[in-house]
Amino acid sequence: MINQIYIENEIKDHPRVQSILKKFKRKTPIYIDKYTSVFNKKNQNFRIQKKYPSLILAKKKAGYVLKTPSDFGIGNSNNFYFSHMYNCLYDCEYCFLQGMFSSADYVLFINYEDFEDGIKEKINFLKNEKVTFFSGYDCDSLAFEKISGFVSYFLPFFKKFSNVEIELRTKSTQLEPLLKMEPVSNCIVAFSLLPAEIADKTDHKAPTIKKRINKISELASMGWKIGLRFDPLIHGENWKNIYKELFADVFKKIDKKAIHSITLGPLRFPKAMFKKILGMNPRSKLLSDVLVLRGNKISYTNEIELEMQSFCIDLLNQHSPETLFFSCKGNF
Amino acid sequence: MNNGCICWVIALASEAKSLIKDFKMYLMPGDTLFPIYKNKNENEWLVITGVGQLNVASGVSYLYSLCPYSKTSFWINFGIAGAGKNVGDIGEPFLINELRHHDFKKIYYPFILPNLKLKNAMLKTYNKPQNNYKRSFLFDMEGWVFYNIVQKKITRELIAVVKIISDNSPETILSINKNFINKFIKDKIENLMTLRDCGFSLSDLETERKKEHFLFVDITEKFHFTFSQCQQLKNFLIRWDVNFPERPLFSEIKDLNDAKSILDYMESSLKNHKLKWE
């Protein structure tokens, strides 16, 4: 549900803006000079905005493609991410976006062509090298598809580059554009998963784990390459059993041959953002656990982190020994 | 129970009259800088600031210092405004979604409250009364300044500006007087009720988020806590509630004699606890 629509004056006549507006016929947009005059101002309340988010249509001016943190990748040495959108429809308690922005409004950058040029530039520069582009870093790649048309636009573009992989990171089960097209061999549809018992308490507004697994299974059977992202790994009483059940369920329902890669990542928050996140959600069960400062991040103790990582890798190896594993330590 | 609070900022007594009556507010006794009204429960406050930017700025600051819940209150600037002929009819209320000032470049876009049956419009604030009715917006002498001051003090989602068109032609401005203003505001109070409910509910959310734990004062009055120990205690008290909803803390720490023992006890209990997700 969109509360209000803001549009940057510069793009008010852009065909993509016009097409989005047709989907909100009852809304009267407000025209603004820059998206930053509404978004991420001092004294905004992320939690209240999350209840009533607005949509801001804007034009990104620079920084179309950025390098990922050093340990973020799925096999290739050249890793980049791009964000056509800030913020997400879902409301997950471990999400760093709530600490990064003071606004929960959705900013959709509609100049996809400029992102495309930025991506092409990187591809040309790294000719013959393997490159992975990640989308879904500052948003969910698919959750807003009905409005943004992002995947429908970008997949045909990426299809042309055989040395390039595109990862679409999502929790969405609205996969229409993917279900309607032939699988794209260099596209990895990566789903964030965690035990249902935990997701029920932390992944607000997101599809249940059962629904996510069913949709992954559907995509896998069509021939799409699947990424499984157990990130973050969340601790608690009985964590071994619930992760065991999750992995058993996943491998029972998803064709192993479709799994491109599996990533494990610890629960972590940038130190600078944690205080803000906790202040916004002081009664969060997840945030009330024992979390410690380690370097510039807040996380479980090293001992817990290592135990979870090694337990999960052992278990995943039993289920799918041939799959590629990657670990994301989450250095900020 | 709703713990929200509303602070009304209104320029003229005639604009406030119906609200004071309908919301059962009474004048605060004593020597106050501005007339301040509040209700019996002290969860609805109103200041009559007088017309113009200086008055509204001072009035806001005064009410902010007086109302004990000002930081988490929902603030509303309500009053009459002129408007271009095509903007709306006399007596029509608007929730302002864009605030401009004749002398300053800064534009504010107030948070749009959902599900209100109020039309939205832009408001421009001037230093002097205006009579150019060819404009496509509302105009007044307080709105922008009100927002500019309040947004520095509290979260922007708790601020609203609502204006009722009082004049939209040179002829209509002649009919504005106390009785006229009072009458048409009285007719529109119904339109403010949803805004008021929404304000109470958002203010309640913010109050809940910021509220101090009920044991904090009891514990810190009994034992001396340093500033950093106080911060630690606040954090532990919330975590205690989340992790041990059925373990009353007071009975467990009643025999402890100082801040350090209390904090050590709470820390060790929390450290040994494993979250239950099922």
* Within a domain: B95: yes
* Within a domain: B277: no
Range of the domain at B70: 6-208
Range of the domain at A200: 5-327
B238 in reach of chain A (CB within 8 A): yes
Mean pLDDT of B83-93: 91
Question: B161 with B226, same domain?
Answer: no
Question: B229 with B101, same domain?
Answer: no
Supply the pLDDT for residue B172. Answer: 81
In terms of pLDDT, which residue wins out, B46 or A96? Answer: B46
B277 in reach of chain A (CB within 8 A): yes
Question: B173 with B239, same domain?
Answer: no
- The CATH code of the domain that includes B128 is 3.40.50.1580
Residue of B nearest to A48 (CA): B157
Mean pLDDT of chain B: 93
Question: B77 with B153, same domain?
Answer: yes
Count of residues making up chain B: 278
Question: How much is the ipTM here?
Answer: 0.89
Mean pLDDT of B168-175: 81
CA-to-CA separations, B51 to B125, B132, B181, in angstroms, rounded: 12, 19, 14
- Chain B interface, mutation test: which of A101, A240, A244, A290, most B Cβ atoms within 10 Å? A290
Supply the pLDDT for residue A332. Answer: 58
Question: B116 with B58, same domain?
Answer: yes
Mean pLDDT of B157-173: 90
d(CA B264, CA B219): 14
Residue of A nearest to B268 (CA): A290
Question: B112 with B44, same domain?
Answer: yes
CB contact under 8 A, A44 and B156: yes
In this structure, how many other beta carbons lie within 10 angstroms of the beta carbon of residue B145?
Answer: 22
Supply the pLDDT for residue B253. Answer: 93
Mean pLDDT of residues grouped by 10 in chain A (332 residues)?
94 97 93 96 92 96 92 86 96 93 96 97 92 92 95 96 94 94 96 97 97 97 96 95 97 94 94 91 93 94 95 93 76 60
* Within a domain: B56: yes
Question: B187 with B223, same domain?
Answer: no
Number of domains in chain A: 1
Report the sign of the C-alpha dihedral through residues A167, A168, A173, A177, in that order.
negative
* Within a domain: A164: yes
* Within a domain: B1: no
Residues 6+ apart with CB under 8 A from B196: B6, B23
Phi, psi for B158 (deg, rounded to 5): -105, 25
Question: B147 with B257, same domain?
Answer: no
CB contact under 8 A, A235 and B157: no
Question: B38 with B174, same domain?
Answer: yes
* Within a domain: A332: no
Chain B residues in contact with A234 by the CB 8 A cut-off are 277
Q: Copy the structure tokens of residue A224.
A: 């799409």
Question: B153 with B247, same domain?
Answer: no
Question: B198 with B219, same domain?
Answer: no
Q: For the CA atoms of chain A, what is the radius of gyration?
A: 20
Contact between B83 and B70 under an 8 Å Cβ cutoff? The reply is: no
Contact between A119 and A98 under an 8 Å Cβ cutoff? The reply is: no
Among B111, B112, B275, select the one facing A289 at the smallest CB separation.
B275
Q: Out of B191, B208, B225, pick the residue that ends a domain.
A: B208
List residues in chain A touching B: CB distance below 8 A.
Answer: 3-4, 6, 28, 30, 32-33, 37-38, 41, 43-45, 47-49, 52, 54, 195, 197-198, 201, 234-239, 242, 280, 282-286, 288-290
pLDDT of B1 above 70: no
Report the sign of the C-alpha dihedral through residues B111, B117, B121, B127, in that order.
negative
Per-residue burial over A138-177, b = 16 or more CB atoms within 10 Å of its CB, e = otherwise:
bbbbbbbbebbbbbebbbeebbebeebbbbbbbbbbbbeb
Number of domains in chain B: 2
Q: Out of B156, B173, B208, pick the residue that ends a domain.
A: B208
Question: B197 with B253, same domain?
Answer: no
* Within a domain: B278: no
Q: Out of B187, B208, B229, pick the residue that ends a domain.
A: B208
Chain B residues in contact with A201 by the CB 8 A cut-off are 277
d(CA A284, CA A287): 5
In this structure, how many other beta carbons lie within 10 angstroms of the beta carbon of residue A232?
Answer: 25
If DSSP codes are grouped into helix, strand and coil, which group holds residue B38?
Answer: strand
* Within a domain: A79: yes
In terms of pLDDT, which residue wins out, B176 or B142? Answer: B142
Supply the pLDDT for residue B49. Answer: 97
In this structure, how many other beta carbons lie within 10 angstroms of the beta carbon of residue A221?
Answer: 12
- The CATH code of the domain that includes A161 is 3.80.30.30
Mean pLDDT of B244-269: 94
